[in-house]
Amino acid sequence: MTIWVLIGILIKILIVVGVTQGTVAYLILVERKIAAYAQDRIGPNRCGREVGVPFALLQPLADGAKMLLKEDVVPKYVTKPLYILAPWIAIATAMVGFAVVPFGPVGPNELINFQIAPNVDIGILYVMAVGSLAVYGVILAGWASNNKYAFIGGLRSSAQLISYEIPLGLSILGMVMIAGSLDLNRIIAWQDAHGWGIFYQPLAFVLFFTSAFAETNRLPFDLPESEQELVGGFHTEYSAMKFGMFFLGEYLHIITACFVTVALFFGGWDMPGLNVEQTGILWSLLKVGVFAAKVGLAILFIMWIRWTLPRFRYDQLMDLAWKSMIPLALINLVATAGVVQLVRTYWS
Amino acid sequence: MRLDDPKLKKIEPPKLSLADRFYLPQVAAGLKVTGEHILGVIFKDQAFTVQYPEEQHVPSPVYRGVHRLNKDEEGRPKCVACMLCATACPAHCIDIVGATAPESWPDREKYPESFVIDELRCIYCGMCEEACPVEAIELTGLYDLTGLSREEMIFDKTKLLSVFDVTRDAEPMKFTTPPPAGTGPTQALESPVS
């Protein structure tokens, strides 16, 4: 019996890894397309035309092949073990986060639990903890490169991530308190019964999403990279697939962040007409589709933001976190706690 | 400059309103701008992109591209090897070897035995074109000038004349009327220019 459970989990891992890596490849194409559209260009549209594939759908394959086939330069002056370890940390931490992300409905009545490790009580805490480990990849890369630009990038990253962890953590606590659980599935189930989280915690949503940008090193908070000032930031000295792994890690991180955002504030698989009682395999697949569509929209929004806002200056970045977002998150937390307590005392 | 100079203009950074300092209204305004561009390209075909090999960009009539050596209606180079273009050239990319014109060309004293332009040195300023008294050298609208070696990019007389053959229909010579008689080397050139 247990062996079948193990095999089932392995199959799930394989599917999740395969699908997410494929998604990342195509997200890069989507990103390039959106970049082009925002700048009144057309973007990649040739790759694959000769063999009849439209919309440059073979472009990700070409990009991936390029990453794999390029010369992997390891400069002489780097601290080699850490230099080689850093991209692996970046990608591993991004992958490990997927263990508790629910891709669809999870529950005792479901035929398939769309989660690699179902019903983990600390769900959201685990995602946060693993997500913040990703900074080690960036810092080690910056430090091991023995390059001042890379080092500044790594330092910025550490300061930035430490600052933005706080509002990120504080802003999810509101939803956790309202739903009464850290388990993402129970948070989604609560939203299914009572309405989406964004209607209860709009401020927390704004804070969470903004911090998520900083966590994933996306513009307008991509100070660790900041091409214009730091060459390439922490990945200045990286080439070929080692660079590709940082890239992959960043996009995986975006996918995780969007899954968590949708699960916390947009009801996960919930839509009007869908509820917890519908358990058949078709209903499950429909819910997975709804969830994926919402996540896709969130990712598109993140890309749209990237081509809209310029990068923050470093002092503005720190001001925003410490002087605005953390106080707001604290106010939101206290107010939510008060309201939740009142409601529990007098209305139930 | 002194700090109390009355001519000194002091510029204050614009005061941000409360809404501006919350960022979000401005973020929304920015999203609207980029959103309009994104949707405009997708639905209204707003993109400026030219699909290059299939669609060719047509440069403006005054575009300064590859040089050509004009021919008169008898097929002879119009150049009279006066060296004015080579003298005017700020990049010194024109190299002319003049020779006495053949007996059968009574309208001129000299003709270019060799006329070489280094297209890699040229800065495409158009001074040669302006200096030329007989409208023999002109810059065409050809912009896709490529080559596999430096030697290949040094254009000799044959090549420059062939550029004229390629472009004569698309771009007729810029000066179709002959310049007034009695001015320097053009004196003898009385036949109408094609």
**What predicted TM-score, i.e. pTM, was given to this entire model?**
0.78
What mean pLDDT is reported for chain A?
Answer: 84
Q: CA–CA separation, B21 vs B26, rounded Å?
A: 9
In sign, the C-alpha dihedral spanning A327, A328, A329, A334 is: positive
Yes or no, beta carbons of B41 and A40 under 8 Å apart? yes
Lowest mean pLDDT among A18-22, B17-21, B178-182: B178-182
- Is the pLDDT score of B48 beyond 70? yes
Assess B24–A contact: CB distance below 8 Å, yes or no.
yes
pLDDT at A178 over 70: yes
Residue found under tokens 């390891």: A74
Residue B177 pLDDT more than 60?
A: no
Which chain A residues touch B25 with a CB distance below 8 Å? Answer: none
- Chain B CB within 8 Å of residue A297 CB: no
**Which DSSP helix (H) or strand (E) runs through A58?**
none
Sign of CA dihedral A180, A184, A187, A193: negative
Give the pLDDT band (50/70/90) at residue B121: very high
Q: What is the pLDDT of residues A80-99, one digit of tens each?
A: 888 888 888 888 888 888 88
Pick from A225, A279, A326: nearest CA to A111:
A279
Give the per-residue pLDDT at B175. Answer: 60
- HSE at residue B11, side-chain half, CA atoms within 13 A, is 2
The band of A1, judged by pLDDT with boundaries at 50, 70 and 90, is low
Pull the structure tokens for residue B125.
């300023």
Q: A148 — contact with chain B (CB < 8 Å)?
A: no
- In B70-156, which residue ranges form alpha helices assigned H by DSSP? 84-88, 127-131
Please compute, for residue A256, the number of CA atoms within 13 A of its CA located in the half-sphere on the CB side. 33
Average pLDDT over residues B137-158: 88
Contact B40 A41 (CB under 8 A): no
List CB contacts (< 8 A) between B35 and chain A.
304
More confident residue, B28 or A131: B28
Percent of chain A exceeding pLDDT 90 equals 3
**A319-334: per-residue pLDDT in tens?**
888 888 899 999 999 9
Give the position of tokens 């995986």.
Answer: A252
Element (H, E) at A224: none
pLDDT of the residue at A108:
67
CA distance A253 to A92: 10
**How large a percentage of chain A has pLDDT more than 70?**
97
What gap in Å lies between CA A194 and CA A173, rounded to an integer?
Answer: 18
Q: Say if B29 is an interface residue toward chain A (CB within 8 Å).
A: no
Does A39 lie at the interface with B, CB-CB under 8 angstroms? yes
Site of tokens 């035929």: A111
* Segments making up each domain of chain A, as ranges: 1-69, 74-346
Q: Which residues of A touch B30 (CB under 8 A)?
A: 308-309
> B42 touching A, CB under 8 A?
yes
**Chain A partners of B34 at a C-beta cutoff of 8 Å?**
38, 304, 307-308
Tens of pLDDT, residue by residue over B81-93, are: 889 999 999 999 9
pLDDT of B41 over the 50 cut = yes
Residues of B in contact with A320 (CB under 8 A): 23
Q: Are B34 and A307 a contacting pair at CB < 8 A?
A: yes
To probe the interface with A, which of B36, B38, B49, B50 has the most A CB atoms within 10 Å?
B38
Candidate from A119-133, A194-208, B84-98, B156-170 with smallest mean pLDDT: A119-133
Chain B residue numbers with beta carbons less than 8 Å from the beta carbon of A307 are: 34
Return the pLDDT at A111: 65
Q: Which of B20, B22, B23, B32 to mutate to test the interface with A (most CBs of A within 10 A)?
A: B23
Whether residue B176 is predicted with pLDDT greater than 80 in this model: the reply is: no
